[in-house]
Amino acid sequence: MRALALSITGSRGVAIAIAIAQWLVRFVAVVLVIATFNFVLVHAAPGDPAQVMAGQSGSADEQMLAQLRAEYGLDKPYPVQLAIYLKRIVTLDLGYSYRQQRSVLSLIAERLPATLLLTCSAFLLSLVAGVSLGTLAGVRAGKWSDTALTIISLFLYAMPVFWLGLMLVLLFSVKLDWLPAFGYVSIGVPMTPFERVVDIAAHMVLPVVSLGSVLMAIYARLMRSAIIDVAHQDFIKTARAKGLKRGQIIFRHMLRNAVLPVVTVAGMQAGTLVGGSVVIETVFAWPGLGRLTFDSVLQRDYPLMLGIFLVMSVIVIVLNFLTDTIYRIVDPRVSLRAAS
């Protein structure tokens, strides 16, 4: 009983501190491993590493290559090279894009906000819509609305995001002319700040919907089956035996329990979301990291590609941390168990 008292009163804070520390360790580990992986990739690529970093164009002159070799210690043994490379990463030096004649970090920093706006909106949309639609289908399992939702999500789940994006453009921009198809904001039109926000929002609709729909389909299916599972559990019978109404049972007892597996999967799907942003930004000419990826791949701009890869992995870890936190808020057992 004393253990019980302790675990309830004191140590939730400790548990949260431990969780953050754990996450930081994971964060550093992932960054280091990906940096190492990048390093290996540069050396695995056909051709001289210096050439690879310069952009494999053949246009790089000898003087520049020599400078690169010196900078990255390319004449030294591999461990030393790796150490130099990791040190640069840790000090946020992601290299220089010779194609764009700018530092990789500044290129990424410029594009990051647009990507974050896109991915986070899509993430939120997919979670909120997925959970609500899934709940609706789950509590109406077997009815026509459930069947309709199941069919829609089956199709969405089978769609390549880029094609869904194109089809939405075809319908809403080309045929109906309701929404802008490309870009982030209308160019060359004088706007008040408010108009500008509305304009950006209008530009966001199609990319966010295309990117979010596929994930929404996944979450909706998951939520539906979780709701059906929870409905069969004993504590729902207890809730009925208390005399609660159906709605009260759904909102107070089923939702919270059913949303847990969805949150877990949302964390695991963060990578899919970021990967999807690459093609979606390409389709919608959205000026974010994804577009930058496309361009860097076309131009075989390695320093830029590797830098983007690193930053995108970091975004995934951050999203993971967010879903983890949501999980902890919903399920008190995690942190209380850890603390006891």
Range 282-301, binding another protein (CB under 8 A): 282-283, 293-294, 297-298, 300
Binder among 46, 77, 79, 247 for another protein (CB under 8 A) = 46
Instruction: CB nearer to another protein: give 158 or 187.
Output: 158
Q: How far is C-alpha 265 from the chain's CA centre?
A: 12
Give the count of beta carbons closer than 10 Å to the beta carbon of residue 108: 20
Burial bucket for residue 4 (CB in 10 Å: 0-12, 13-18, 19+): exposed
Residues in 97-136 at the binding interface with another protein, rule: CB under 8 A: none
Instruction: CB nearer to another protein: give 151 or 197.
Output: 151
* Start-end of H helices in the chain: 2-9, 12-44, 49-54, 62-72, 78-90, 104-139, 144-157, 161-168, 193-231, 234-241, 246-248, 255-268, 270-284, 289-298, 302-330, 332-339
Cβ proximity of 290 and 119 under 8 Å: no
172 binds another protein (CB under 8 A): no
Could you tell me the smallest distance in angstroms from the CB atom of residue 314 to another protein? 10
Could you tell me the smallest distance in angstroms from the CB atom of residue 309 to another protein? 6
176 binds another protein (CB under 8 A): no
242 binds another protein (CB under 8 A): yes
Could you tell me the smallest distance in angstroms from the CB atom of residue 191 to another protein? 26
Residues in 198-237 at the binding interface with another protein, rule: CB under 8 A: 233-235, 237
The single-letter code of the amino acid at 103 is: S
143 binds another protein (CB under 8 A): no
Binder among 74, 215, 262, 316 for another protein (CB under 8 A) = 316
Binder among 154, 197, 198, 201 for another protein (CB under 8 A) = 154
- Residue 184 CA to residue 279 CA, distance in Å, equals 15
